[in-house]
Amino acid sequence: MGVPRFLIGSLAGALAAPIVLLAACGGDDASIADPPVSPHPTSSSPTGTPPQESPEAFIRRWAEAEKRMENTGRTRHYRVLSQGCGPCEKLAAQVHGYYDVGGFVHWKGWKILSIKRYPGPPTPLFEVHSDSRPTVYKTAASAPRQHFSGGPITYVLALKRTANSWIVTDKSELSS
């Protein structure tokens, strides 16, 4: 993740206050697979229920929304997908702040390598192993360009089910 990976978590003690790191404690190694989804509801009625989005599909969609937010400074969609997620809100506020004063973020996102269930009730948790692309950013128009090299990163995301999808309610960097 571009700016987010060091804004909400500390990679090599980078640029922001670290969040609470979760200790790796093993778990189910089974990757989450997308179930087959019918392209159309079974009912021809306009009130038919759309197919449920799998956690993996949602996480990939959410990661794309984070990338889009960082590269545009538009945070509304990301915030909708991250309701109640304190680290996500801090990231969105910081990215918005950069753009507000003429800064920018150029980041090509995460290459998600795997998504696995992570142990821990009461909410569904998912361990997301990714390769984060390099980032170039400016915190303001007059600020110097800064670089972040990217690299492997693992997050644990807490999800909450909505009517047909999910929202992220917490995001923590998993210590290596």
Token pair listed for 37:
């989804």
Torsion (CA) 175, 161, 112, 77 in degrees, nearest 10: -100
What's the pLDDT tens digit per position in 66-98? Answer: 999 999 999 999 999 999 999 999 999 999 999
Q: Across residues 151-160, what is the average pLDDT?
A: 97
Which option is the CATH number for 3-16+52-173: 3.40.720, 3.40.50, 3.10.450, 2.60.40?
3.10.450
Alpha carbon of residue 20 to chain centroid: 16
Q: What is the pLDDT of residue 154?
A: 97
Q: What is the pLDDT of residue 176?
A: 65
Burial of 43 (0-12, 13-18, 19+ CB in 10 A): exposed
Q: What is the pLDDT of residue 22?
A: 28
What's the pLDDT tens digit per position in 135-153? Answer: 999 999 999 999 999 999 9
CA distances to 11, 18, 48, 70, 77 from 57, rounded to whole Å, are: 26, 28, 21, 20, 16
Q: Where are the domains of the chain?
A: 3-16+52-173
Q: Which residues have a Cβ under 8 Å from the Cβ of 40 and sit 6 or more positions away?
A: none
Q: Is the full-model pTM beyond 0.95? A: no
- Contact present, 56 and 34 (Cβ < 8 Å): yes
The 8-class DSSP code of residue 16 comes to S
Torsion (CA) 62, 107, 71, 156 in degrees, nearest 10: 30
